[in-house]
Structure 1
Amino acid sequence: MKSLFKVTLLATTMAVALNASTAFAAPAAAKDAAADTKSAAANKDAFKSDDQKSAYALGASLGRYMENSLKEQEKLGVKLDKAQLIAGVQDAFAGNSKMSDQDIEKTLQEFEARVKNAAQAKMEKDAKENAEKGKAFRDAFAKEKGTKTSSTGLIYKVEKEGTGAAPKDSDTVVVNYKGTLIDGKEFDNSYTRGEPLSFRLDGVIPGWTEGLKYIKKGGKIKMVIPPELAYGKTGVPGIPADSTLVFDVELLDIKPAAKQDEKAPAAGEEKPAAAQK
């Protein structure tokens, strides 16, 4: 058999739509502590051995994984029959499968392609909606008092100018910042982490490299960054494709690069997670 069929049926059919570690963890997080305590008390004598308990735990984890995977696939417009899924597992354990190994492999290959196509279609639809909503948000923000729009499309409001010289591309800056999507969903926040970050100014997304030059040490700026100055049509985890990003940034310090090293990144230099290139 090909490698596709050498992995488990579960991993083959479900992994394309949901990360396994998330699927296993999510249902447990959904229960409150009281429910878990009650369940444990009610079932403390349900197992006669550690092997029985381990087998049940494995089955419960697989069931939760499948349930969450089915829900994720339904979001893509792919609705599997839960009864047939369970029947397939039971028949496999009983050695009485209704499909040959070759049929199973072929069907799973077709299913994987179908899920990928559905995911691609959804991503394109979401990206289009993100672009339209982002433009509307930027247009509204640009009309607010005190905002400016640069030739690149960056829209910003200097809330505090700061003092001294503005940073250069080769400088290392120290900042505190918060990043959100236009709906207010937060994806990065150095304040929450409890420490500012340092990074070389030319090592981040274009919106940051440009925007931080409009303030000086001690300054504060609000930036609304269009997709082409951020992550464009690709996106990153937590930031969908064609997203407009909103950043509130406080420039705490500027560290000029050594003259002999102005074109080389500093060793061990950090960059903000949500603003890396």
Structure 2
Amino acid sequence: MKSLIKVSLLASTIALALNTSSALAADTAPSAIQPATTVPASSILNKFKSSEDQTAYALGASLGHYMNNSMKEQEKLGIKLDKGQMISGVQDAFGNNNKLSDKEIEATLQSFEEHVKQAAKTKMEQEAKDNAAKGDKYREDYAKQKGVKKTTNGVLYKVDKAGIGSAPTNSDTVVVNYKGALVDGTEFDNSYKRSEPLSFRLDGVIPGWTEGLKHIKKGGKIHLVLPPEQAYGKTDVPGIPANSTLVFDIDLLDIKPATGEDGQAPDVGAQQK
């Protein structure tokens, strides 16, 4: 009968080995002009008696890195485990001399899993609360700046350049360049740096964009400050924590009238480059 810890360790080790192999295959594939390099056999023999010994060590090192990184993530949640006890547990498992029975190990790990989940939930709730407070203060200060206007939905905007022609409608496709950041200045996306303007239907993005871009025309530029409910709300997306107020600089490069076909819009603000 296998204990949960033994199964977990084995699964982690195998997963690490497979993932590492896949990553190395992708990252070190030889090109047509540069041949692949290999570690000289003499170099291996200086450290290990055989390739099997090297493999065993590599698996152990991979497992060690995995456990070390996991412990660092747990420490961010206020959970600190003793590395010495963890190493002792591994050694005892290899020596079939566990201090805990299989049932005790399984019960301990299940309890720990619930503890980690609760700690993560508490941390996320506190961060969301802090983000909301920071956003409220930022919007309050920004609203006092000259030229800033506020819509009934709480979207703050400042038109830097009005543009020409007509403002876009919900069904129009717009072409834009933009930069998005959090209130502390952390940038989460920037199409200017990628030299890749984005094209999408105006009604297919976050509400603050759909409303905000109607205040400029083709060739216009606008600065938007969106409250969470006009962006991603309580949802945690890559690079954007829950309850975040978002700050955008947007250039409206072109407006393409609707053709009757539904276009698909990108998830503006959640792209990581």
**Both proteins in one fold, TM over 0.5:** yes
C-alpha distance in 2 between matches for 1:162 and 1:228: 28
Structure 1 residue 234: Cα displacement? 1.7
Query: Residues 5 and 171 from structure 1, CA distance in 2 versus in 1: closer, same or farther, beyond 3 angstroms?
Result: farther
Is the 1:205–1:275 Cα contact (8 Å) retained in structure 2? no
Report what 1:255 is aligned to. 256
C-alpha distance in 1 between matches for 2:169 and 2:2: 55
Report what 2:135 is aligned to. 134
| Percent identity over paired residues | 66
SS of the equivalent of 1:114 reads helix
Report what 2:217 is aligned to. 216
C-alpha distance in 1 between matches for 2:144 and 2:2: 59
Report what 2:8 is aligned to. 8
Structure 1 residue 214: Cα displacement? 0.7
Report what 2:147 is aligned to. 146
Structure 1 residue 270: Cα displacement? 4.2
C-alpha distance in 1 between matches for 2:53 and 2:268: 44
Aligned runs of 1:99-178 on 2, under 5 Å? 99-178=100-179
The ranges of structure 1 where at least 4 consecutive aligned residues each deviate by more than 3 angstroms after the TM superposition are 1-7, 9-12
After TM superposition, the score normalised by the length of structure 2 is: 0.82
Aligned runs of 1:1-277 on 2, under 5 Å? 7-9=7-9, 45-258=46-259, 260-261=260-261, 265-266=262-263, 269-274=264-269
Query: Residues 99 and 3 from structure 1, CA distance in 2 versus in 1: closer, same or farther, beyond 3 angstroms?
Result: closer
Unmatched runs of 5 consecutive residues or more in structure 2: 13-18, 24-39
SS of the equivalent of 1:8 reads helix
Is the 2:177–2:253 Cα contact (8 Å) retained in structure 1? yes
Deviation track 1:226-255 (CA, whole Å, cap 9, x = no partner) reads: 001111112212111111001111111111
C-alpha distance in 2 between matches for 1:147 and 1:132: 21
C-alpha distance in 1 between matches for 2:95 and 2:2: 23
Q: State the one-letter code of the partner of 2:210.
A: T
Q: State the one-letter code of the partner of 2:67.
A: M
Structure 1 residue 146: Cα displacement? 1.1
C-alpha distance in 2 between matches for 1:153 and 1:78: 39
Q: CA RMSD in A?
A: 2.5
Structure 1 residue 101: Cα displacement? 1.6
Q: State the one-letter code of the partner of 1:64.
A: H
SS of the equivalent of 2:158 reads strand
Q: How many residues are matched? A: 244
Q: State the one-letter code of the partner of 1:51.
A: E
Q: State the one-letter code of the partner of 2:8.
A: T
C-alpha distance in 2 between matches for 1:10 and 1:155: 53
Report what 2:31 is aligned to. none
C-alpha distance in 1 between matches for 2:88 and 2:80: 16
Structure 1 residue 55: Cα displacement? 2.4
Is the 1:179–1:187 Cα contact (8 Å) retained in structure 2? yes
Structure 1 residue 145: Cα displacement? 1.2
Structure 1 residue 194: Cα displacement? 2.1
Query: Residues 185 and 11 from structure 1, CA distance in 2 versus in 1: closer, same or farther, beyond 3 angstroms?
Result: farther
Unmatched runs of 5 consecutive residues or more in structure 1: 13-20, 26-39
